[in-house]
Chains A and B, each alone.
Chain A
Amino acid sequence: MKALRRIFRRLTSWATSAKDETLLRAEIEAHIAMQTADNLRAGLSPDEARRQALLKFGSIEAIKDTYRDQRGLPFLETLVRDTRDALRGLRRAPAFTTAVILTLALGIGANTAIFAVIDGILIRPLPYPQAEALVSISHAAPGLPGAPDLGCSSSMYFTYRQENRTFEQFGLWSSGGASVTGVAEPEQPRTLFVTHGVLDAVGVKPLLGRWFSQADDTPGSAETVMLTYGYWQRRFGGDTSIVGRTLTIDSRTRTVIGVMPEAFRFQRDPELILPLRFEQNAQFLGGFGYRGLARLKAGLTIEQANADVARMTGLWLKAWPPNPGIDRTVFQNARIGARLQSLKQEIVGDIGTSLWVVMGTLGLVLLIACANVANLLLVRAEARQQELAIRAALGAGRRRIARALLAESLTLGLLGGAAGLGLAYVALRILVAKGPDTLPRLRDIGVDPVVLAFALGVALISGVLFGIIPIVKYAGPRIATALRGVGRTFSDGRERHRARNTLVVVQVALALVLLIGSGLMIRTVQQLRSVQPGFTHPEEIQILHSMVPAAIAGEPERVMRMQHEILDKLATIPGVTSVGFATRAPLESFLGNVGNPVFAEDKTFAEGRIPPIRQIRRIAPGYFPTMGTRVVAGRDFTWTDLYEGRRVAIVSENLAREWWGVPRTALGKRIREAGALDPWREIVGVVEDVYDNGMHVEPPKFAYWPALMDRYIFGGDKGSAVTSGMFAVRSSRTGTEGFLAEAQQAIWSVNGRQPVFLVTTLEALYDQSLARTSFTLVMLTIAAGMGLVLGIVGIYGVIAYVVSQRIREIGIRTALGAQPAGLLRMFVRHGLWLTGIGAALGLVSAAGLTRLMSSVLFGVTALDPVTYTAVSALLIVAGMLASYLPARRAIAVDAVQALRAE
């Protein structure tokens, strides 16, 4: 209590220090006057009386000092004083200060920005209440070939809802599109389909209206829809009377029951939310296209929930019938098991690796920046050596001087940090606005207190880091040497440059590590770009998805004729060379993969075993020529194949090779999908492999079916057509605004109620598939560029400084007849020596560090000799140049002038 009160008094008196000082002086004066008066009365002479009084009082200054120390907060006071001195000193050296602050701003800014990204994506919890209790439910099937990651089937929904012991809330969801007509142009908003329980699990309350209830899920009840904030604003201008109004969605009238708040986030950024309805007595085991989401009961772990789901999977397997045409043993042998993970982990995925690699490299950049600043500070401390020596001679302790130096570097650190924070803020704004779609949780990224604390911490640590070197070197008690060594009376000893040389070596080493990192990324992108993707000139291919109205979806041939008509219309647009139609374009696997087991007539599979899952794509004639996919053997489909219902198929080359060795032998063989319900189809063509999941993944094995079939496993007796598919248009005009409008118009001229969505070019899809690699590449290249520049500046600075310090020596040498070329060589050799040692150290470190990034590399090893050689050569050349330029100044020195410059 007493101590607390004292601290409080000290704090308040700190503010009134000037007034207190006067009062203390008055009090002391009064004391001495009274003592003097007493002494006079005792018979002393006036002079002697005062002298005795002063003697008795003791050292006034010492008392004042003690008094001051007790009165305020001496630590804070000296800190403020030191900071003020530091600021004053820095203002007097604007060039130095600007250079340091800029260097630090780059280093700290880059690190703060990437930390904000990591914080937003990896560290911060999902924007839901008690988000850590949310888990995503999927299933492993080790018994299935290729061990795919299965989602949940609709039958699981019922079993899990009834039998679970660990879920507070549970539901299934899926995402896709739904066409909205009758408002303006027909459109296809991104749609989230949810069962009852999903929104309850997420726990974000609606802004207007209500969530879905059990009733909304029940087939036959009134059709409802919820809007998300963005769609509500865009389409209805935020009209609050929207609840209760109706929308026409997929040709059905639905009532709007609620609007989600602006802060609501969900995967794939939905615009509409529709209820997912399952008929309980029409469900089968299979069909794992849904995703499960659950909120665990308080205090339960994922392991407990996993065990619970494992138990329920056993119940589920007995409770439901297998899908028609598939034997129950297939499901049993698949050994379907629970695979739960936190929702956050599912959303974030494996982006963490790339982010940490980038963070690591930017950390190296900051180290280089600190080394650079330390170097500048050394030069500055050298110039101030005389001042420091005088201060030491006047009685400033080693501590006091160290504190002043540290205050200066911390001030610099904080100034640089503030500037860096500004840079980071701008960079993040740009990133959030233009960031790659593949970056999850992009909208969660921003500057928050954690990021601010990070920036502050980094600024302070950097301040200490680069501040410590000059302190160690110059705060020491070397007054005599310092005072004597000032000026240019003495030529320099080699030892004086040791600290600076070391720093430059470290810089070069770090820069080399960064350059190798970015070199490896460049090679990776080169390798990825050199992959033959199975399509040509993607920049010419315009892609438009479209969906026929539900009203005619039940008439397959009519659907196909309509799409055929659209294709013909598209083909007449000026500049179009070919058109195609299919369920999907290449590289659209983010829409969800369509795969099923494919059987071959001449291959037998053991009872209850199913063949591997293949990618299935349904196409119309002209798709392959439009994409530029080569037909390796046989032929493309024809329109006659489609309209006459011929049972034909095309397979990818890798599938043909797997089963029949040589592509041509696949022709005439018969295959079918999934089970006995699908008729055998004769292979009429083999096409080139397509890298459908990205250039870094082996191309999947494909079975292509006709877009129109007389019988299909899904579709029944009337046959099947593709109702929601993709039109591909190849033209040199692709990408121009007018062209897209013409293409859309062509579709609408055939059917004005058909929404057009997912409009893109194949090139955009291609770039997007490389987005993560490109992102890492760009970040690493920026980091390496900064590292290289800072490293070169470091070498340049040291050589320039050495030259300026040795002007006198150069003068003597020249006077004694040294050749300019020899002098030049002397300095360049110094620079090269530093570069060489740095490069050697860098090569060793790179060999260790780049192994950490091997998971983001493709087609090159972390020890790629080409990269290592090229980068070392680049660095040596840069180092030579950086020392040659300042060295040239040395040989321009006029001997007479150099000697006179005392």
Chain B
Amino acid sequence: MKDTDVRQGTLALMVLKTLDVLGPLHGYGIARRIEQISGDLLTVNQGTLYPVLLKLEQEGSIASEWGASENNRKARFYKLTRQGRKQLQAEARSWEQTAAIIDRFFAVKAQDLK
């Protein structure tokens, strides 16, 4: 259970970053972008993206509207809201801090702890 929470959190951050970089995008587009960058995180179970999108939309970080895709298919496009941009900045910062702490933690050598 805990595992999915972490993954969902990571996934949400990736979605926000993707929309920040690429602008409005449909679910498939977001999935592909994340796949390209993160490798195997989404090679299976692309579908898990959709509950994350829903959650973000409910929180007001992203908004969606229906439109036409490149090959004229009806698709739902997601875009970052102002609040989402703020959230992305905040979370990116906290992620960096966390990462830095973890880095330092693992960098500590055994004799340093004596």
Given contacts A60-B47, A63-B47, A63-B51, contact A33 B73 (CB under 8 A): yes
Q: Is B71 an interface residue (CB 8 A)?
A: yes
CA distance A10 to B58 in the complex (A): 8
Residues of A within 8 A of B57 (CB): 9
19 contacts between A and B (CB under 8 A): A2-B59, A2-B60, A6-B58, A23-B76, A26-B76, A28-B47, A30-B26, A30-B27, A33-B73, A34-B28, A34-B69, A34-B73, A57-B45, A57-B47, A58-B44, A58-B46, A59-B47, A67-B50, A67-B54
CA distance A10 to B59 in the complex (A): 10
Instruction: Kindly provide the distance from the CB of A38 to the nearest chain B CB, expressed in whole angstroms.
Output: 8
Residues of A within 8 A of B55 (CB): 6, 70
A58 and B45 form a contact (CB under 8 A): yes
Q: Is A805 an interface residue (CB 8 A)?
A: no
Residues of A within 8 A of B80 (CB): none
Q: Is A498 an interface residue (CB 8 A)?
A: no
Q: Tell me whether chain A's interface is mostly helix, strand or loop, or mixed.
A: helix
CA distance A31 to B51 in the complex (A): 14
Encode B58-98 as 1/0 by CB contact (under 8 A) with A.
11100000000101011110000000000000000000000
Q: A30-B73, A31-B46, A66-B48 are in contact. List 15 more A-B contacts (CB 8 A).
A: A2-B59, A5-B59, A28-B50, A30-B27, A30-B28, A30-B74, A34-B75, A56-B43, A57-B45, A57-B46, A58-B48, A59-B47, A62-B47, A67-B54, A70-B55
Encode A48-78 as 1/0 by CB contact (under 8 A) with B.
0000000111111011001100110000000
CA distance A23 to B45 in the complex (A): 20
Residues of A within 8 A of B74 (CB): 26, 30
| Closest partner residue, chain B, to A31 (CB atom) | B28
Q: Is B34 an interface residue (CB 8 A)?
A: no
CA distance A67 to B60 in the complex (A): 17
Q: Is B31 an interface residue (CB 8 A)?
A: yes
Residues of A within 8 A of B44 (CB): 55-56, 58
Encode B16-58 as 1/0 by CB contact (under 8 A) with A.
0000000000111001100000000001111110110011011
Q: Is A550 an interface residue (CB 8 A)?
A: no
Q: Is A24 an interface residue (CB 8 A)?
A: yes
Instruction: Kindly provide the distance from the CB of A193 to the nearest chain B CB, expressed in whole angstroms.
Output: 71
Interface residue ranges of A10-31 to B (CB < 8 Å): 10, 23-24, 26-28, 30-31
| Closest partner residue, chain A, to B83 (CB atom) | A2
Residues of B within 8 A of A38 (CB): 32
A27 and B47 form a contact (CB under 8 A): no
CA distance A35 to B51 in the complex (A): 19
Residues of B within 8 A of A57 (CB): 45-47
Q: Is A243 an interface residue (CB 8 A)?
A: no
CA distance A24 to B73 in the complex (A): 15
B46 and A5 form a contact (CB under 8 A): no
A9 and B58 form a contact (CB under 8 A): yes
B46 and A56 form a contact (CB under 8 A): yes
Given contacts A5-B58, A6-B58, A71-B54, contact A30 B69 (CB under 8 A): yes
Which one, A2, A24, A33, A37, contacts B50 given CB within 8 A?
A24
Residues of B within 8 A of A33 (CB): 73
Residues of B within 8 A of A10 (CB): 58
Residues of B within 8 A of A63 (CB): 47-48, 50-51
B28 and A67 form a contact (CB under 8 A): no
Residues of B within 8 A of A31 (CB): 26-28, 31, 46
Residues of A within 8 A of B50 (CB): 24, 27-28, 63, 67
The 6 closest A-B pairs by CB, nearest first: A58-B45, A63-B47, A9-B58, A58-B47, A34-B28, A66-B51
A27 and B58 form a contact (CB under 8 A): no
A27 and B75 form a contact (CB under 8 A): yes
Residues of A within 8 A of B43 (CB): 56
| Closest partner residue, chain B, to A62 (CB atom) | B47
A24, A55, A57 pick with most chain B CB within 10 angstroms: A57
Given contacts A33-B73, A56-B43, contact A70 B54 (CB under 8 A): yes
CA distance A166 to B10 in the complex (A): 70
A27 and B27 form a contact (CB under 8 A): yes
Residues of A within 8 A of B27 (CB): 27, 30-31
Residues of B within 8 A of A60 (CB): 47
A30 and B47 form a contact (CB under 8 A): no
| Closest partner residue, chain A, to B30 (CB atom) | A31
| Closest partner residue, chain A, to B64 (CB atom) | A27
CA distance A361 to B67 in the complex (A): 69
Residues of B within 8 A of A62 (CB): 47
Residues of B within 8 A of A24 (CB): 50
Residues of A within 8 A of B31 (CB): 31
Residues of A within 8 A of B76 (CB): 23, 26-27, 30
B26, B43, B45 pick with most chain A CB within 10 angstroms: B45
CA distance A38 to B28 in the complex (A): 11
CA distance A56 to B31 in the complex (A): 11
Instruction: Kindly provide the distance from the CB of B26 to the nearest chain A CB, expressed in whole angstroms.
Output: 7
CA distance A546 to B50 in the complex (A): 91
Encode A578-612 as 1/0 by CB contact (under 8 A) with B.
00000000000000000000000000000000000
Residues of A within 8 A of B46 (CB): 31, 35, 56-58
